[in-house]
Amino acid sequence: MFALKLLFASTVNGTCMIFEERIIMVQASNPKQAEQMVKLYFVADSYENANGEQNIVTLEAVLDCFEVVDQLPAMHLVEVYSRYLIYDEPTTVEQVIKDYKLNA
């Protein structure tokens, strides 16, 4: 069982101002397999927001992956933590990682 720290971007009309940091549990044999499973599971998701604008949520980065326990089958792809990182101006994934020290 692995915990992966992920960074998502929410883009409206081509402008990204909201990011989300999530930690999820993944049942995998090794860290590489866990990361591959996450990338296949979290494909870009699109929906219309309250203002009638198209919102696209994408997985931008796998920030960390670490083994937590040997096995918890009921925990596969379960989210255990999430927080939104909101910016007043458009920014980049690299700047968000730096601002919030997400690679630490």
Residue-level pLDDT at 104: 62
The span from the first CA to the last CA of the chain, in angstroms, equals 21
- DSSP secondary structure, 21-52, as one string: EEEEEE--SSHHHHHHHHHHH---EEEE-TTS
Give the DSSP H/E element, type plus range, for residue 94. helix 93-99
42 and 27 Cβ atoms separated by less than 8 Å: no
CA distances from 44 to 40, 47, 56, 68, 98 (A): 10, 10, 7, 27, 23
- Report the mean per-residue pLDDT for the chain: 90
pLDDT tens for each residue of 63-89: 999 998 766 667 677 888 899 999 988
pLDDT at 32 over 80: yes
The pLDDT-based confidence of 28 (bands split at 50, 70, 90) is very high
Residue-level pLDDT at 73: 64
Residue-level pLDDT at 57: 95
